[in-house]
Amino acid sequence: MKKLSLPIVIAYLMLQLSCSPTKTGNSEPGATTDAKSVLVEKNYGRINDHLDNFTISNSREDLGTFRRNKSPVYAISYYKAESQENNTKAVKKINGKDFFLQSYTEYLKDGRKRYKEYIYDHMQRIENFHYDQGFENLLLLHRLEPNPENEKNYYSILDYYPNKVLKEEIRYRTYKGTDFDVEDYTTYKLKKSNDAIIISINSIGYDSLPEPQEIYTFGGDMLMKQKPLFQSKKQHLKWLGSTYKPIKMEGYVFEDRNVEFTYDDKGFVTSETWVKGGELENKKEFEYHADYSERIEQNYHLRGTEKSSRYIRKYNSKGDLFSEQMIEYTGNETDPVVFEYVYDENNNWTERKQFNVSKKGGNSKTLVQHEVREITYFQSDSKIRNIPFPKLSEKVAHIAAALPKVARDKQNDLDAFNKAAEEGNYDAEITKIDAPAIKDFTPKFWKLKVTAFGDLDNVPGEEGAAVFETPSSDGQGFQQMLSIFRKKGNKWMLWHQTTAPILGTADGGMMGNPFEGITIANRTVIIKHFGGSGQKWHYRHIYRYQNNDWYLIGAKTHFGAPCDYFLDFDYNLSTGEVAAQYKQDICNKEEKANGAEKQWKKSFKRDIALPKMDDFIPGGNKFEVLGMDYEIYY
């Protein structure tokens, strides 16, 4: 394999020493390398901005929030009126009212970000945007979370072709003492075909598995995106005004569904039409009045023939939304939302209020959001913030060479697994009788998830238990196998195996694989599961070997959700003792103060024949509490 160079590392070192322009080395296989191609691509900025690269998009995301037609913005401090409860943001009194600092951002003269600090999830974050010497291309986004107990650093490193089109990105992080944890590696392979520029995007994630290739074709004012993982697999866009706008999407969610858009001569959308299987499915129509100060969106339902909701949005002379109202299909006019602004001399708003208007209350207004921006502009003596370039991990240089090979090997293994699973060409159970280590029992295409060790039979010699993920599928996920072993001398012997007590990989709902862990204690095997969506469930089942077989002897369940209810169930099947507890969780303070919460506790005995491990399915067994209208599953 040819080792791909990473000239960006050299460029970074040079930048730290002398701020010299970025230089690039050898091109990647398949890239155009003739003399004409190394000239700067005249539309490189347009191309880079529309490759859906998050790092580049992040640097430009504020451009639509302020105007630069008079003076370029240097910095913005953005405040919102918020609740003081558990608020860690800096507070400032403005006209006697508390406002909390959301972010402080500094910009380049063209509006791209240079520096940003903000609070996210009660954690301070700092973002530094490093560019090349001429501030043309972004080289690095460094995000820092300066937590004294666990500082985290995130690095997004960009490199470009000689014509300044994006070539590759490496993202990695450092935290908890780790010096390098790769997040992904993406290459943008460029070639020219007649008058078109074709960018093939290949990304390798943190799990070292390659994602399906995306292809972006730039031809004149047209752009076509082929994105296999997206809801719209093929997108056609056209350059209108100052950006690419969609004109058609093919295969949106379903292969036979297409969406088409039309625009007026100013680049405003006039229609959005959905067709599935050749038949009209849905549509939207847009009208504009008074030089676009009034914009009407009409939605349709019932296969695009019956009018449904209608939105009327009005804009002021600055182009900012100041009124929005929905009219339902019945003709009922809902309460509008209105905005009020205060502007500075450069037509940028420095204060914005959002109100809900009550029509029944005589058009009374209720303030729902209050924002303030303190804006400073570039002056003759303004200087762009000097940000020292951080020291990057030496391992960055090896990613381009090593990770693609690892990804290919993993993809080959995955392809072989998928083929074996589809054809049923794999072991349905462990066939080895003995082995030096438990991992040596793993059949081909199986995955060893976890092992546990301890005493299971009260006789000399160690026992062990393992959970494997198998290739056997029910169409949603894969079966998981519990295997139990005894050790004799220097070898482990297979004692028992069964899929019954371990749920499948897709049985956890939105939480994913529900298997949470296995332990051996008190001569029992203890298995935990966790899953659910809004309401979560936790299972803990205890199995013991007795009477020459494995039996369930204990089950414990916790089920519920905040602001709803919680149910706990503890069943000792060996003694028949049951403890059950139910409690409503009411978040409404008034209802809670009125004692509306319902709760109960029950303790009693119920003897049943112990279920055999091989016949027991976690969560599939109903238990009724006498006198209570609740069903418990364990």
230-334 maps to CATH 2.40.128: yes
Distance, in Å, from the CA atom of 408 to the CA atom of 405, rounded to the nearest integer, reads 5
Average pLDDT for consecutive 10-residue bins of the chain (634 residues)?
Answer: 33 32 32 41 90 96 89 96 84 92 96 96 93 94 91 94 93 85 91 91 84 92 92 92 93 89 95 92 93 95 82 96 94 94 96 94 92 96 94 85 79 84 91 95 94 92 94 86 94 96 90 92 95 90 95 94 89 93 79 72 91 93 79 85
Put the strands of the sheet holding 599-605 in their side by side order: 515-521, 524-532, 536-546, 549-561, 565-572, 577-584, 599-605
Alpha-carbon distance of 496 to 547, in angstroms, equals: 15
- pLDDT value, residue 596: 65
Give pLDDT, residue 474.
76
> What is the spatial distance between Cα 480 and Cα 288, in angstroms, rounded to a whole number?
59
pLDDT of residue 344: 95
pLDDT for 181: 87
Give dist(CA 150, CA 173) in Å, integer.
13
Q: How far is CA 63 from CA 37, 112, 346, in A?
A: 31, 7, 15
Q: Return the pLDDT at 86.
A: 75
Domains in the chain: boundaries: 1-200+340-423, 230-334, 424-633
pLDDT in the model for residue 413: 82
Report the pLDDT value the prediction gives residue 593, as an integer from 0 to 100. Answer: 64
DSSP 404: H
